[in-house]
């Protein structure tokens, strides 16, 4: 059985306060985009995990898919399986790729082995794996708050626009992103701001990580500037970076962006 976990972008990201558990409260809009990995599960005599595509840093045993299966195996009598992950979503990009794999894997196991898990139960497994993981269970646009794992449904449809996504060749860790930010209550709710036409978002919908990350990694800003010059209505770094997206009225020729930077075009 196979599934295709997709990425998300953050439309706005406000870090509002520091929490006693060391995490931060935040407010953001998660919006699913159609850049995808492929994830296959087959029953097998022994457990095995293999990957192809973009290579994943770190120990394969720490992969979130295996962690998700270990969590489910604590509660259910599940067989050995072979997992194949074809990685296409850039890693450490602020696109939530690892979290997407884990959430889609839980949905896949639920279907394959008829576990009968509710949406809420699958989300609670996800919360043990990463702050933005639970979003990918329902995988629809939401306003997210607390650690980024509590959701409110919103009406947001960008399907008439065109999205360009670029990945500057720099690495930003999530921990680096959070360390450089001063938490501050939001001046205006993102839920209200996204009701404005996209043409009015620039400068009003912001990502609190951008100020210090763009200063430390000027290449990210270069991509934003290039997208604006190409006519983007709105540009923003996604999550903790380093990916940057631009929302355009129409499909746009971005050939002046360095080829290796542009990773997805669509919505």
Ligand X SMILES: C[C@@](CO)(OP(=O)(O)O)[C@H](O)COP(=O)(O)OP(=O)(O)OC[C@H]1O[C@@H](n2ccc(N)nc2=O)[C@H](O)[C@@H]1O
Ligand Y SMILES: Nc1ncnc2c1ncn2[C@@H]1O[C@H](COP(=O)(O)OP(=O)(O)O)[C@@H](O)[C@H]1O
Which residues of the chain form contacts with ligand X (CB under 6 A)?
10, 13, 23-24, 26, 28, 94, 96, 99, 130-133, 147-148, 174-175, 178, 239-240
The neighbouring-strand residues paired with 265 are 164
Q: Is 8 a catalytic residue?
A: yes
- Confirm or reject binding of residue 126 to ligand Y (CB under 6 A): no
Take residue 92 and report the two structure tokens written for it.
Answer: 């450490």
What is the contact mask toward ligand Y in residues 162 to 181, using x (rule: CB under 6 A)?
------------x-------
What is the rounded distance in angstroms from the CA atom of residue 11 to the CA atom of residue 244? 11
Question: Mask 79-118, x = binds ligand Y (CB under 6 A)?
Answer: ------x-----xxxxxxxxx-x-----------------
What is the closest distance, in whole angstroms, from the C-beta atom of residue 254 to ligand X in the complex?
A: 23
Residue 166 sits at φ, ψ, to 5 deg, of -125, 150
Question: 91 is in the binding site of which of ligand Y, ligand X, none (Cβ under 5 to 8 A by kind)?
Answer: ligand Y
Relative orientation angle of helices 64-75 and 97-112, to the nearest 10 degrees: 40
- The least CB distance from residue 210 to ligand X, in Å, is 12
Max CA distance (Å), the chain: 56
Place of tokens 């599934």: 3
Q: Tell me the C-alpha distance between 249 and 251, whole Å.
A: 7
Q: Alpha helix locations (H) across 76-197?
A: 97-112, 119-127, 135-138, 174-179, 190-193
Compute the least distance from the CB of residue 255 to ligand X, in Å: 28
In the residue annotation, 132 being an active-site residue is answered as yes
Query: Whose Cβ is closer to ligand X: residue 65's or residue 81's?
Result: 65
Q: By the criterion CB under 6 A, which residues form the site for ligand Y?
A: 56-58, 63-65, 85, 91-99, 101, 174, 239-240
Write out the catalytic residue numbers: 8, 132
């Amino acid at each position: 059985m196979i599934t295709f976990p997709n990425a998300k972008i953050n439309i706005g990201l406000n870090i509002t306060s520091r929490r006693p558990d060391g995490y931060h409260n935040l407010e953001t809009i998660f919006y699913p985009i159609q850049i995808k990995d492929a994830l296959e599960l087959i029953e097998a005599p022994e457990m095995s995990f293999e990957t192809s595509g973009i290579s994943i840093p770190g120990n394969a045993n720490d992969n979130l898919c295996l962690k998700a299966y270990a969590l489910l195996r604590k509660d259910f009598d599940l067989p050995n399986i072979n997992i194949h992950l074809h990685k296409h979503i850039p890693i450490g990009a602020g696109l939530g790729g690892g979290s997407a794999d884990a959430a889609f894997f839980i949905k896949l196991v639920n279907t394959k082995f008829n576990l009968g898990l509710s949406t809420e139960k699958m989300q609670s497994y996800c919360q043990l794996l990463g702050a933005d993981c639970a979003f990918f269970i329902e995988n629809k646009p939401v306003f997210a708050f607390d650690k980024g794992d509590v959701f409110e449904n919103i009406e947001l449809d960008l399907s008439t626009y065109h999205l360009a996504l670029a990945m500057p060749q720099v690495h930003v860790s999530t921990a680096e992103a959070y360390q450089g930010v001063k938490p501050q209550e939001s001046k205006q709710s993102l839920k209200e701001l996204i009701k404005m036409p996209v043409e009015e978002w620039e400068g009003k919908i912001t990502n609190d990580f951008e100020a210090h990350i763009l200063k430390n990694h000027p290449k990210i800003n270069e991509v934003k500037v290039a997208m604006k010059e190409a006519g983007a209505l709105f540009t923003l770094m996604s999550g903790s970076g380093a990916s940057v997206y631009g929302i355009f009225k129409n499909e746009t020729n971005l050939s002046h962006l360095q080829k290796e930077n542009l990773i997805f075009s669509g919505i």
